[in-house]
């Protein structure tokens, strides 16, 4: 994939809306990855800072750059609900369908029409095995399949569910190659391909818009989960789980394993440690009391026999929930399933896998833990404290869940929400921790606290949380806040904008949230009635009567509370590493010479297997498409370019269900260079989960990384600009804090936020920077994004004008809070998203656009924040003046551009509001255009952080070698990621991920690794890429797969708002329709010769590349010892 513009464009909307959509939608469902990705396998990724468990419970496999458009849940006044009755299928159709079900061994349990997603849903049960199947039929071309097993971990944190989730995708009965999963990555048109491990279940979902491709994916996944090779292959267990590694009997033994190193990274992050500690303390007596992802200290206790037994016990159809969704033939679904399910008999797994509820405590519990901290700064002010409750000893009814979701949004969902506002304004901490309401497990929880707290202030934080909650219970919420929250949430539910995350998968995870606990799988899909009932109840009884009893019952009068205090310990990381070395030293001491020789032999044998390609006959077993299945033309987005008040306006006539999406673009070229680091504070930063707003993967790990993990809480947006489409993968989303949280002359920031919630779907402001191919000057803009129901278009543009022109920069203390929050987020990002930091730093050394971005979101920005925190009290007048100067430099009709996406009539009706908005803008900027031509110095650099894993990058600008862009570069870079780097960095190297990226706008080709136990060894692998390409032999089938997989990226599935936004970015970057067609033709005609020729181009990275690593002190010292002065060292924490 292509990074195409290490953009630090951070898009966004109100975090609030997202948080609710994740909570309710997911119980109304639920998911993370990490994320936390994070972010995010399910051992997925993690998401945002407000969701503390996010980073915690996900793992994904490192996928080469999955495309996740920049979409957030904006809030707005939603259309009124319309009561509908379930549609009845015709008797003839029902009879035919029932006959098919009977033929294939299924009985129909229930059938309902789900008006909320305009789908017919049928629940089947397989007679022989008891497997349950939900078949959802509608006109959505983005088809989804998923199989979910209930997999509560056994009595310890060895991580069996997570390791098994990785391992089953490493070859199966019908597909006997090393990793069919990777072959699917290489050569399918999937719109989603991953796997998640939650604390109590494991999910295997796929999606595609191509029916043939979809059924190929389904078959590979079904064979993988039911008939995996891993249960007979000890080496797969070693590779994905853990093993002792010894290259030479004279050397030290080390631990290796993909999951082992992934979890070392997770356990290096303070927020993760906090979340894990809280969950295990809240649930000491059931499955949630141990870590399904695996504790690195415990993982090496797992045996292969236990691993095999776990699969045999739980991976049975009787313990499965199977989901189909989309416009494919529902009868064909049953036929495919019957081929697998009929091979099994009944099993007691479904009874034995049930999760028992945790009994509620009779009194609160307090826990104190240490976390690894850097030596810099005042450690006394680096404490964390979080209060956590289990709300009930049994699942809640849907109306109560919905009401708690609203309450969560009211208390924490926006900057103006009282609990969030009071905690941050107290000055007792730097940023919020705790995920608020969490309902993706059997029992709902609520968590809230602060980090960056002085040790003396811990009791004050606890007291403030409780007194604020008491005050809210006694006084309630004002009517404007309730109305804004209601409209925000209702808009989100009705819009159902899940970004690139398939809507069918969002619905699956909602349904599973009940279904996995043997409850009604239809109920979570139907929000209309509980929503209408809740609105009616609030109207009749008042919001206080609805929400105050919830606060009192579930929080204030609830003794099942765990308070977790986290204390910084600068020695913890080194102690942990020393303890691991001591264990391994004892292991070696207990071995004979013969044992050591055998271990060295086994290590080489495993590596040989990992690095030996699959035989051609095995590769051919994986079903695929042909080039005849691929459209020759790029996806067309209707775009009409007009002019209003001398400003260009791009309009995209697409069906949006009466929602108007707009972007207003301002030129940033008049901004003085020294003001750049203030821009993120002018437009501030906020974190949001990224797997589209439909799912909160807080408690899961995922199979692969989806290139950049949502769970990582990054500060950048990597723009993957394929010539076919442009999609954003957001790391940490930057929004408009100073503008959104300072208030105007007439409205304080609370009133302003409430007005935005009541009238729009959300407004965000963020910088967008990128190189432009063939030009010296970079693309540098500020983008204002907003959305609203078409009937509120005037409100939307009026509010945008208010935010841009009327907000006052006068509140010194609030601004200081922004600085502290930003600093805390950047410090967190350094630990968990080191590859993002390394990528930004390398880009800043190689081009101006990268330097601009790094000033607004990299190590330079962190250093600026550290200095600014002190400067706020010393020179507030100067800072306030600088913020005002930024506004004057940016706001102008000159260089402005408007982009709108909606139905034609809405676009036409909105033109008068656009004209009025433009009339209010200054005609030109009072500041002259400036030239920025700065870069960081090009020496190799190591950023030191307290971590157990590394993030290793190397990059060069291949345009400097004379290389001229061809579409084949897209195919080649993706192939390098999916083969050479996957095999060497991840599989045999033990990192969680390794990938390369080519920014075709700047020419920067970069290599990156994620949660990597190595440093110099990984750089050697990068340097071997040219030889890999020269020696590459590739048959026609392999080449076809590589081409098709690249087209899948180019044609990534997008909802209408993302299509309009992609078209805007192409316009800004000068990508014409002619170029898109040309690049597509070049992709489709890629040959082995192109790979060979690219080898010489990539050699520039070996000889002229710049290296940046985010790594531990020990590993950097070892590298500099082996290669003196290789790294210039920078301490960031």
Residue pLDDT, tens place only, 317-339: 999 999 999 999 999 999 999 99
Q: How many CA atoms lie within 13 A of 228 on its CB side?
A: 27
The residue from 240, 495, 903, 1099 that is catalytic is: 240
pLDDT beyond 50 at 40: no
Burial class (CB in 10 A: 0-12, 13-18, 19+), 888: middle
pLDDT beyond 60 at 62: no
Q: Confirm whether 1033 is a catalytic residue.
A: no
Helix H segments across 807-953? 812-832, 834-846, 848-855, 859-874, 876-890, 904-919
pLDDT beyond 50 at 710: no
> What's the pTM value of the predicted model, to 2 decimals?
0.88
Predicted local confidence at residue 701, as pLDDT? 62
Paired tokens of 694: 């439909």
Tell me the mean pLDDT in the region 410-431.
Answer: 93
User: Could you tell me the sign of the dihedral formed by the alpha carbons of 870, 873, 878, 884, in that order?
Assistant: positive
Paired tokens of 615: 């035989």
Dist. CA 420–CA 416, nearest whole Å: 7
Predicted local confidence at residue 397, as pLDDT? 87
Predicted local confidence at residue 704, as pLDDT? 53
* Mean of per-residue pLDDT scores for the chain: 86
Choose between 38 and 1032: higher pLDDT.
1032
Dist. CA 719–CA 34, nearest whole Å: 20
Predicted local confidence at residue 738, as pLDDT? 59
Per residue, what are the HEC states of 911-952? HHHHHHHHHCCCCCCCCCCCCCCCCCCCCCEEEECCCCCEEE
> 789, 79 in Cβ contact below 8 A?
yes
- b or e along 3-36 (b: 16 or more beta carbons within 10 Å of the residue's beta carbon)? bbbbbbbbbbbbbbbbbbbbbbbbbbbbbbbbbb
Residue pLDDT, tens place only, 613-632: 999 899 999 999 999 999 99
pLDDT beyond 80 at 565: yes
Residue pLDDT, tens place only, 205-247: 999 999 999 999 999 999 999 999 999 999 999 999 999 999 9
Predicted local confidence at residue 80, as pLDDT? 27
> 505, 117 in Cβ contact below 8 A?
no
Q: Confirm whether 425 is a catalytic residue.
A: no
**Residue 636 has what DSSP assignment?**
P
pLDDT beyond 70 at 83: no
Residue pointed to by tokens 């029916």: 211
The residue from 111, 165, 245, 369 that is catalytic is: 165
Residue pointed to by tokens 């204390």: 567
CB atoms within 10 A of CB 325: 30
> 331, 142 in Cβ contact below 8 A?
no
- Sheet containing 763-770: order of strands: 640-644, 647-653, 897-902, 659-667, 779-789, 763-770
């Amino acid at each position: 994939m292509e990074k195409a513009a290490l953009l630090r464009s951070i898009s966004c909307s109100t975090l609030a809306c997202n948080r609710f959509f994740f909570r309710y939608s997911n119980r109304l469902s639920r998911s993370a990855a990490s994320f936390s990705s994070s972010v995010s396998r399910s051992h997925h990724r993690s998401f945002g800072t407000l969701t503390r468990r996010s980073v915690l419970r996900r793992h994904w496999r490192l996928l080469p750059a999955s495309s996740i458009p920049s979409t957030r849940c904006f809030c707005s006044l939603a259309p009124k609900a319309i009561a509908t009755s379930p549609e009845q299928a015709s008797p003839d159709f029902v009879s035919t369908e029932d006959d098919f079900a009977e033929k294939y061994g299924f009985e129909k349990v229930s059938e309902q029409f789900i008006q909320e997603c305009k789908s017919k849903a049928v629940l089947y049960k397989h007679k022989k095995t008891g497997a349950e199947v939900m078949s959802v039929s509608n006109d959505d071309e983005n088809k989804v399949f998923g199989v979910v097993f209930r997999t509560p971990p056994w009595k310890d944190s060895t991580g069996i569910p997570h390791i098994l989730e990785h391992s089953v995708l490493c070859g199966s009965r019908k597909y006997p190659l090393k990793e069919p999963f990777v072959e699917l990555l290489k050569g399918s048109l999937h719109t989603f391909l991953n796997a998640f491990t939650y604390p109590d279940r494991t999910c295997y979902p796929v999606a595609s818009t191509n029916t043939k491709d979809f059924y190929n994916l389904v078959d590979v996944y079904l064979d993988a989960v039911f008939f995996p090779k891993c249960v007979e292959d000890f080496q797969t267990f070693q590779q994905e789980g853990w093993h002792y590694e010894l290259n030479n009997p004279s050397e030290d033994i080390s631990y290796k394993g993909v999951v082992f190193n992934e979890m070392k990274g997770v356990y290096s992050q303070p927020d993760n440690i906090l979340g894990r500690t809280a969950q295990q303390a809240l649930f000491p007596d059931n499955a949630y009391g141990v870590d399904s992802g695996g504790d690195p200290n415990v993982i090496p206790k797992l045996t292969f026999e236990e691993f095999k037994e776990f699969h045999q016990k739980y991976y049975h159809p009787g313990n499965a929930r199977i989901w189909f969704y989309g416009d494919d033939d529902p009868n064909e679904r049953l036929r495919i399933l019957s081929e697998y399910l009929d091979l099994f008999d009944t099993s007691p797994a479904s009874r034995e896998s049930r999760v028992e509820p945790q009994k509620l405590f009779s009194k609160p519990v307090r826990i104190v833990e240490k976390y690894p901290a850097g030596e810099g700064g005042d450690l006394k002010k680096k404490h964390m404290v979080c209060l956590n409750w289990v709300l009930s000893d049994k699942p809640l009814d849907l109306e109560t869940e919905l009401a708690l979701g609203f309450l969560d949004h009211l208390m924490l969902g926006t900057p103006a929400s009282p609990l969030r506002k009071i905690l941050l304004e107290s000055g007792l901490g730097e940023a919020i921790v705790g995920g608020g309401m969490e309902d993706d497990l059997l029992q709902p929880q609520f968590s809230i606290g602060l980090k960056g707290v002085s040790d003396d202030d811990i009791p004050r934080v606890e007291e403030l949380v409780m007194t604020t909650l008491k005050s809210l219970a006694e006084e309630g919420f004002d009517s404007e806040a309730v109305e804004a929250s209601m409209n925000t949430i209702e808009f989100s539910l009705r819009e159902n904008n899940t970004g690139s995350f398939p809507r069918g998968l969002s619905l699956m995870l909602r349904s599973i949230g009940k279904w996995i606990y043997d409850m009604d799988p239809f109920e979570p899909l139907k929000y209309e009635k509980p929503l209408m009932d809740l609105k009616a109840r609030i109207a009749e009884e008042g919001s206080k009567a609805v929400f105050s009893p919830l606060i009192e019952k579930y929080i204030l009068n609830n003794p099942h509370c765990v308070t977790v205090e986290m204390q910084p310990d600068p020695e913890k990381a080194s102690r942990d590493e020393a303890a691991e070395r001591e264990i391994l030293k004892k292991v070696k001491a207990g071995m004979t010479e013969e044992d050591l020789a055998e271990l060295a032999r086994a290590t080489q044998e495993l590596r040989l297997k990992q690095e030996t390609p699959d035989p051609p006959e095995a590769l051919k077993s994986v079903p695929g498409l042909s080039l005849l299945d691929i459209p020759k033309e790029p996806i067309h987005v209707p775009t009409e370019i007009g002019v209003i008040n001398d400003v260009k306006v791009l309009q995209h006539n697409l069906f949006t269900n009466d929602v108007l999406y707009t972007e207003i673009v301002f030129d940033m070229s008049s901004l003085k260079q020294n003001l750049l680091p203030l821009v993120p504070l002018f437009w501030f930063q906020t974190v949001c989960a990224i797997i589209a707003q439909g799912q909160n993967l807080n408690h899961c790990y995922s199979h692969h990384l989806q290139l950049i993990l949502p769970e990582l809480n990054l500060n950048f947006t990597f723009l993957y600009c394929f010539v076919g489409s442009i999609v954003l993968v957001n790391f940490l989303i930057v929004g408009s804090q100073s503008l959104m949280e300072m208030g105007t002359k007439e409205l304080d920031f609370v009133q302003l936020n409430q007005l935005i919630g009541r009238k729009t779907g959300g407004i965000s402001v963020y910088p967008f920077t990128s190189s432009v191919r063939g030009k010296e000057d970079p693309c540098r803009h500020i983008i204002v994004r907003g959305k609203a129901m078409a009937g509120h278009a005037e409100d939307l543009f009026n509010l945008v004008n208010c935010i841009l022109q009327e907000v006052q920069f006068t509140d010194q203390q609030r601004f200081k809070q922004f600085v502290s929050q930003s600093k805390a987020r950047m410090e967190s990002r350094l630990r968990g998203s080191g590859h993002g930091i390394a990528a930004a730093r390398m880009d800043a050394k190689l081009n101006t656009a990268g330097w601009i971005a790094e000033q607004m979101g990299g190590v330079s920005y962190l250093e600026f924040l550290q200095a600014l925190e002190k400067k706020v009290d010393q020179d507030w007048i100067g800072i306030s003046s600088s913020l005002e100067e930024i506004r004057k430099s940016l706001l102008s009709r000159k260089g402005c551009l408007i982009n709108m996406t909606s139905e034609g009539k809405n676009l036409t009706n909105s033109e008068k509001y656009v004209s009025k908005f433009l009339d209010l803008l200054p005609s030109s900027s009072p500041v002259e255009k400036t030239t920025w031509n700065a870069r960081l110095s090009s020496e190799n650099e190591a950023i030191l952080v307290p971590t157990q894993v590394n993030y290793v990058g190397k990059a060069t600008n291949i345009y400097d070698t004379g290389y001229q862009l061809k579409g084949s570069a897209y195919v080649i870079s993706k192939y390098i990621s999916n083969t050479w780097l996957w095999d060497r960095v991840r599989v045999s190297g033990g990192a969680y991920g390794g990938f390369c990226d080519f920014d075709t706008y700047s020419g920067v080709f970069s290599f990156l690794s994620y949660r990597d136990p190595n440093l110099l060894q990984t750089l050697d692998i990068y340097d071997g890429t040219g030889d890999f390409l020269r020696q590459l032999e590739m048959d026609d089938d392999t080449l076809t797969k590589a081409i098709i997989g690249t087209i899948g990226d180019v044609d990534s599935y997008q909802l209408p708002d993302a299509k309009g936004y992609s078209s805007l970015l192409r316009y800004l970057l000068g990508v014409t329709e002619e170029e898109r067609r040309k690049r597509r033709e070049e992709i489709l005609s890629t040959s082995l010769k192109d790979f060979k020729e690219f080898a010489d181009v990539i050699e520039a990275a070996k000889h002229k590349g710049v290296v940046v690593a985010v790594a531990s002190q020990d590993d950097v010292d070892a590298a500099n010892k082996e290669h003196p002065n290789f790294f210039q060292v920078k301490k960031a924490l």
